[in-house]
Amino acid sequence: MAASNEPVDAAALAALRPGMPVSAVEKAMGSAWRTLAPHKGGIIDILENTHGVIVRIDRKGLVGKIDFNSRFEHTIAGVPMGISLDDLRTTVPDMQIGSKVRRATRFGKKQLPEGELSVRITYDTVYEIEISNPDAEYAEPTAPPYPAASGAPGAPFSDPNLKLAVMSSLLYAKALDLGTPQQLASHVLGRTVDLEKDGDELIPEALDYLTRYPLSDEQLAAVERIEFDGSGAIYPFAWYFWGGEEGVFDVRDISGIRFCPNLKSISVNSMIDKVDIRALVPLKTLQRVSINVPSENIEALLDLPSLRTAGRFPPNPVTREIFEELARRGVQVN
């Protein structure tokens, strides 16, 4: 359950320090807060992909570590995210900055009263900031509780691969917890699996489990963006080292996308040969459509009441009038 109706407080996130109670994290996260999952070892990563923050709680129930990535475009302990190396030396003169260690990356360190501040500097720019208590002890993360697979492959979608794309969206939004690909593979195979050695091939048992994973109405309602692209987060769970060349995950029917009633953005870069825009008409909240593959029935864009951006459609003189009408309606056409 969410702690409040308040939005995420970036200033409060930037002020988090080791030794603070969990309640400080809860307050900073506002309505994004969810009760700690026992199996995650104190890791709070709900905001990782949206705000760029991961917090870890130690065995004492206190903040042990806060990691900020480049999505968190704020100042932490006097260090602005994205600051250049030269400006960092001037802004934080007491920071110890090491030599390059790999791929133009180096690290800087500074002792704070609450713990150690560490920054990762790549190509002379700060891209990651961490504050940690080096003496903190943490519980080990374990696999999440996996629900039993049920229903037909893909349900409620007619195309199982559309379901995988939806699950990718849920993983990105931290609204679905599958553990790690190795944990899932070990679960479905009933034995310990090392995907570094055994991840070169598709695991049929993992694919079957994923396509029959029971998604709740609440999870489907939480899907706000879907991107059809081979880099989706879900695919390593079925084929760890999939290179993207094989068409095993291609989507052939997107009509089931209507089961995501709050979808706001859809982007098609690959994995679909042709998109029928009519399949999007039931999506009354859809604001952004970006299609970079052949499409048909483009006039259906005119039936999307919330559309604000329509872009990356392959050029087609026949559709010129449609896009001119969209532009007259205030839709940004790219």
In a domain, 182, yes or no: yes
Give the pLDDT score at 1: 40
Answer with the one of 82, 117, 132 that is the final residue of a domain: 132
Does residue 5 have a pLDDT over 90? no
Give this prediction's pTM.
Answer: 0.89
SS3 string, the chain, reads CCCCCCCCCHHHHHCCCCCCEHHHHHHHHHHHCCCCCHHHCCEECCCCCCCCEEEEECCCCEEEEEEEECCCCCEECCEECCCEHHHHHHHCCCCEECCCCECCEEEEEEEECCEEEEEEEECCEEEEEEEECCCCCCCCCCCCCCCCCCCCCCCCCCCHHHHHHHHHHHHHCCCCCCCCHHHHHHHHHCCCCCHHHHCCCCCHHHHHHHHCCCCCHHHHHCCCEEEECCCCCCHHHCCCCCCCCCCCCCCCCCHHHHHCCCCCEEEECCCCCCEEHHHHCCCCCCCEEEECCCEECHHHHHHCCCCCEEECCCCCHHHHHHHHHHHHCCCEEC
Residues 83 and 205 both lie in one domain: no
If you average pLDDT over residues 48-65, what whole number do you get?
97
Residues 117 and 175 both lie in one domain: no
pLDDT > 90 fraction of the chain, expressed in percent and rounded: 88
146-171: per-residue pLDDT in tens?
999 999 999 999 999 999 999 999 99
267-296: per-residue pLDDT in tens?
999 999 999 999 999 999 999 999 999 999
Residues 221 and 168 both lie in one domain: yes
In a domain, 40, yes or no: yes
Residues 27 and 97 both lie in one domain: yes
Residues 203 and 90 both lie in one domain: no
Give the pLDDT score at 313: 76
Residues 84 and 209 both lie in one domain: no
Q: What is the band of 319 on the pLDDT scale with cuts at 50, 70, 90?
A: confident
Residues 166 and 288 both lie in one domain: yes
Residue 288 sits in a domain whose CATH number is 3.80.10
Residues 29 and 92 both lie in one domain: yes
In a domain, 142, yes or no: no
Q: Could you list the residue range(s) of the whole structural domain that residue 206 is in?
A: 160-333
Does residue 62 have a pLDDT over 90? yes
Residues 205 and 284 both lie in one domain: yes
In a domain, 138, yes or no: no
In a domain, 150, yes or no: no
- Bridge partners (DSSP) of residue 79 are 76
In a domain, 49, yes or no: yes
In a domain, 143, yes or no: no
- Averaged pLDDT score across all residues of the chain: 94
180-224: per-residue pLDDT in tens?
999 999 999 999 999 999 999 999 999 999 999 999 999 999 999
Give the pLDDT score at 240: 97
Q: What is the band of 315 on the pLDDT scale with cuts at 50, 70, 90?
A: low
Residues 87 and 164 both lie in one domain: no
Q: How many domains does the chain have?
A: 2
Q: What is the band of 119 on the pLDDT scale with cuts at 50, 70, 90?
A: very high
Give the pLDDT score at 2: 42
Does residue 81 have a pLDDT over 50? yes
Give the residue, 328 or 319, on which the prediction is more confident: 328
Residues 113 and 228 both lie in one domain: no
Give the pLDDT score at 283: 97
In a domain, 145, yes or no: no
Does residue 43 have a pLDDT over 90? yes
Give the pLDDT score at 196: 94
245-254: per-residue pLDDT in tens?
889 999 999 9
Residues 109 and 181 both lie in one domain: no
CA R_g for the chain: 23
